[in-house]
A and B are shown apart, each in its own frame.
Chain A
């Protein structure tokens, strides 16, 4: 064999050897099937449409009383746990504000930990709890955000950091507590800090390299569409944070994201509609180009973030099936929009008490401000329902495609509110409002687990929960609704009537969303536990102080005798 022949034979072999090793982990196609596939959990929201619904029914209302913990693993912090785990290839991937873990899903044994270290001064920028809500996985990598504003990729097998990019400066008031979104091969991340005198944004990243592809500023600058809705340079400190995750429709190739409240809260300090704060936007993942928008509250003065989850559903409206997104907004209304066009289809009150508006004008889509709000804008203190904590806070709702109902942790909390004038100061809270929340009263619940009709706002049933819950819900084909309580119990309720069927004390307070999946043919439910977050900081409820700190994750399955395991 001549050397030329040998070279010709070797070149293809060398070329194969030079190719990167095949990546493991879910493909884009697998991510888009997460709402159907039950032996993995590859997306935040248990599906790109964020329904938090599972077709599993092995655990159901007839046997849920036999649910028992399979294992518990400590998560090495005493901060609040708002994270949603992911499951792939027999491993649970878990996020806290300062670490990412891979755990053996069968035993809870720690396989690796990717630890973060923060400048302690940075923590003073965090408004509402040192938390991190979740991960994205794709093609052998995990993606997360850090409190000090890094976006990073982690090897799913080894836990090694593959790349880490800085998105913004914490000293300006930015932090990151949210979950990224993977859409058509683009990693999209948001930011917190809207109440700290910052300007909100979304970023698009190349998940392979960490290269930034685009930035979408959520407050419009002069000369841009919507730029005339701000006076002077108020848009530069105008808020519009993006601290919760978006959702994605692969068929329409549209990303949906809820944008946060304007800053400062005192609306008199920033006349105009303040686009695109308190707005739901649809955008192209490849470019960040906005396709449509619906502003929920123009010139908001009550910190009614519109960041809550955007749930995809098909609902029959006026006799026709419509592909919609549903948002139970902080402001006490549940909105239903056409997913392709942004047309407002329904806006209905889903809380018992609401004083800031007299309804939504369905022609313009704008709220009809109440006399109380108009009086408040003159500087007079008023009582506002719901408070800026909302009719529902961040805790993600679930939606059953069977019952067509939302299952959410609702709140009935008022606030005393008075707009004042305060000067902007870099990296400190920029509310320009004095506000406070009431002390709890015996026999008057501040929270309810609610089944809500998204088309009417009707509470089909509601079960009092006190102190109010602020973790997510999970709806299953077993006719169950799971949610965690801040007093530590993971609880299961009858989907038909809200009756409590089962609960288990996890050791600390729960403020996270549960997930469910199958492993080795058995159905499991998993939940992170750890008191913290907004309500434990802000609500003057002494019951919170009775709850021990300490983060952990527990997974549950139906009881089997030891000898049968």
Chain B
């Protein structure tokens, strides 16, 4: 990812996770918002069969995404795009905005689970 697209990705991340910066005051990271719904659908299509439903798995064979540091966005993008250890690369079938949506979904799920709720 070049610097410019990285910048815009970070900006979109900020918008996704801050929850108060979009015009109209809508919070895209709240459950049921379009951004989370998009990330949720992508997660079910691409990630769920290894990382578990709603990111809950045993951590025995695949990474427990509930433990992924929410401030390591670039690491997330690199792992999804290029693969990491046993994880296959997905950069040829997921575009930047889809990977951003997945990151937003992951952070939202983490926040929801910390608060003791599910989406």
Q: Could you list which residues of chain A lie within 8 angstroms of chain B, going by C-beta atoms? A: 80, 120-124, 126-129, 422, 425, 427-431, 434-437, 439, 509, 531-532, 536-545, 547, 549
Residues of the A chain whose Cβ atoms lie less than 8 Å from the Cβ of B62: 537
What CA separation (Å) do A123 and B41 show in the bound complex?
Answer: 20
Asked if A436 and B53 make an inter-chain contact with CB atoms under 8 angstroms apart, the answer reads yes
Which residue in A120, A434, A531 is a CB contact (below 8 Å) of B60?
Answer: A531
Which residue in A126, A427, A430, A543 is a CB contact (below 8 Å) of B58?
Answer: A543
What CA separation (Å) do A536 and B50 show in the bound complex?
Answer: 10
Question: SS class of chain B's interface: helix, strand, loop or mixed?
Answer: loop
Asked if A545 and B90 make an inter-chain contact with CB atoms under 8 angstroms apart, the answer reads no
Closest A residue to B58 using CB positions: A544
Question: SS class of chain A's interface: helix, strand, loop or mixed?
Answer: loop
Residues of the B chain whose Cβ atoms lie less than 8 Å from the Cβ of A425: 45
What CA separation (Å) do A430 and B59 show in the bound complex?
Answer: 24
Minimum distance in angstroms from B60 CB to a CB of chain A: 4
- Asked if B71 is at the interface of the complex by the 8 Å CB criterion, the answer is no
Q: List 29 A-B contacts (CB under 8 A).
A: A120-B89, A121-B88, A121-B89, A123-B86, A422-B41, A425-B45, A429-B44, A429-B45, A431-B44, A435-B53, A437-B53, A437-B56, A531-B60, A532-B60, A532-B61, A536-B60, A537-B50, A537-B57, A537-B61, A538-B52, A538-B57, A539-B57, A540-B56, A540-B57, A544-B59, A544-B61, A545-B58, A545-B59, A545-B64
Instruction: Count how many pairs of residues, one from A and one from B, have CB atoms less than 8 Å apart in the complex.
Output: 82
Instruction: Enumerate B20-47 residues with CB–CB distance to A below 8 Å.
Output: 41, 44-46
Residues of the B chain whose Cβ atoms lie less than 8 Å from the Cβ of A427: 93
Residues of the A chain whose Cβ atoms lie less than 8 Å from the Cβ of B69: none
> How many chain B residues touch the partner (CB < 8 A)?
26
- Given A127-B49, A537-B50, verify A436-B61 contact (CB < 8 Å): no
What CA separation (Å) do A425 and B92 show in the bound complex?
Answer: 14
Asked if B46 and A537 make an inter-chain contact with CB atoms under 8 angstroms apart, the answer reads no
Asked if B88 and A120 make an inter-chain contact with CB atoms under 8 angstroms apart, the answer reads yes
List 14 additional A-B contacts (Cβ < 8 Å) besides A422-B45, A429-B46, A545-B60.
A124-B46, A128-B49, A429-B44, A434-B44, A435-B53, A437-B56, A537-B60, A537-B61, A538-B53, A538-B57, A540-B56, A540-B58, A545-B59, A549-B61
- Asked if B83 is at the interface of the complex by the 8 Å CB criterion, the answer is yes
What CA separation (Å) do A128 and B57 show in the bound complex?
Answer: 13
Residues of the B chain whose Cβ atoms lie less than 8 Å from the Cβ of A544: 58-61
Closest A residue to B83 using CB positions: A120
Minimum distance in angstroms from A559 CB to a CB of chain B: 32
Closest B residue to A425 using CB positions: B45
The 10 closest A-B pairs by CB, nearest first: A544-B58, A544-B60, A540-B56, A436-B53, A545-B59, A124-B88, A536-B60, A428-B45, A123-B88, A127-B49
